[in-house]
Structure 1
Amino acid sequence: MTIEVGSKVPNMKLLADNGEQVSLTDYQGKYIVLYFYPKDMTPGCTTEACDFRDQHQSFSELNAVIIGVSPDPQDKHQKFKEKHELPFQLLVDDEHKLAEEFGVWTLKKNFGKEYMGIERSTFIINPEGEVVKEWRKVKVKDHVEEALQYIKDIQN
């Protein structure tokens, strides 16, 4: 079963960029902006991460944490985070278990090749641990502002 709007998030532990084991349920009481991205250090993923970085304070003021997830290993996440001064956690989903739970581990096509990979997606999780909004097949431009506005709107 794929997690969708209305579903509770799983209590699944993943390795974070800092070496800690983290579960989405650790953040109960806060909004979570959970974004899945294909790969560290690529142009679209860097733009998206930097857009979230630039709005980090605005999300924090709304009691929201940002968490990025990709299949990249911990050391690559650390380098990506340091290089771009990312103030939020990046989780390692090297076995794509969380991505499969959220239905974002999909067949992709690029230059005539087919392969399995992350479909860029973002989910808003409320303080009770329930998914309240999803964006699938995300286009990076203006996406972070849209997510921020959504959280502002549901809090008013």
Structure 2
Amino acid sequence: MSLKIGDKLPKFTAINSNGNAFDSQSFIGKSLVIYFYPKDETRVCTEQACSFRDNYEEFKELGAEVIGISSDSNKSHQKFASKHQLPFILLSDNDKKLRKLFGVPNDLFGLIPGRVTYVVNKNGIIEMVFNSMSGKIHIEKALEILRNQSHTAK
């Protein structure tokens, strides 16, 4: 079953690309942009990651942390983050437990892991689920939701 708008962010832990423990519950009180992507160093995934990087300051200004998740190893994530100067958290999901927990589907042909972005508000509630194999549009959609949160809070 896939997570949908209005669902609560599931509790999960993982190891980030720096080898540190990540606990989803430690981010309650902060907005999250969690994006699942197929693979480090592929063209669309790299464009997407670099677009998140290029807009990272705006995400931070809007009170959100960005988290990228793929099945690549932490070693692969370290190289990917270093090469492209990615300032946000990358989590390894090599056992695909997180992908299953969120209900992220594969692409239409079932061959490639899906590309889905979730925006989670400060209360841990999912406010956006965006599923598209096109990379860059995820950033625009996430920023739009966060900007609306910001205007509503004022």
Please confirm whether the aligned pair reaches a TM-score higher than 0.5, indicating the same fold: yes
Q: For 1:1-150, list aligned pairs within 5 A.
A: 1-106=1-106, 109=109, 115=111, 117-150=112-145
- What is the one-letter code of the residue matched to 2:103? G
User: In structure 2, what is the Cα distance between the partners aligned to 1:25 and 1:86?
Assistant: 23
1:37-74: per-residue Cα shift (whole Å, max 9, x none)?
Answer: 00001000000000000000001001000000000000
Q: When you count strand as a share of all residues, which structure comes out higher?
A: 1
Identity percentage of aligned residues:
38
DSSP 3-state at the match of 1:8: coil
Q: TM-score, normalised by structure 1?
A: 0.90
1:105-149: per-residue Cα shift (whole Å, max 9, x none)?
Answer: 43653xxxx53x421010000111111111012422343123112
User: In structure 2, what is the Cα distance between the partners aligned to 1:14 and 1:74?
Assistant: 11
DSSP 3-state at the match of 1:118: coil
DSSP 3-state at the match of 1:122: strand
Larger displacement relative to structure 2 (14-23 or 139-148): 139-148
Q: Is 1:151 matched with 2:146?
A: yes
Q: Decide whether the 8 Å contact of 2:106 with 2:114 is kept in 1.
A: yes
Larger displacement relative to structure 2 (96-105 or 127-136): 96-105
Q: Decide whether the 8 Å contact of 2:6 with 2:126 is kept in 1.
A: yes
> Unmatched 5+ residue regions in structure 2?
none
DSSP 3-state at the match of 1:7: coil
Q: When you count helix as a share of all residues, which structure comes out higher?
A: 2
Q: Decide whether the 8 Å contact of 1:96 with 1:105 is kept in 2.
A: no
> Unmatched 5+ residue regions in structure 1?
none
Distance 1:107 1:59, change over 3 A: closer
- Shift in Å at residue 151 of structure 1? 0.6
Q: TM-score, normalised by structure 2?
A: 0.91
| Aligned-CA RMSD value | 1.5
DSSP 3-state at the match of 2:106: strand
- Shift in Å at residue 150 of structure 1? 1.7
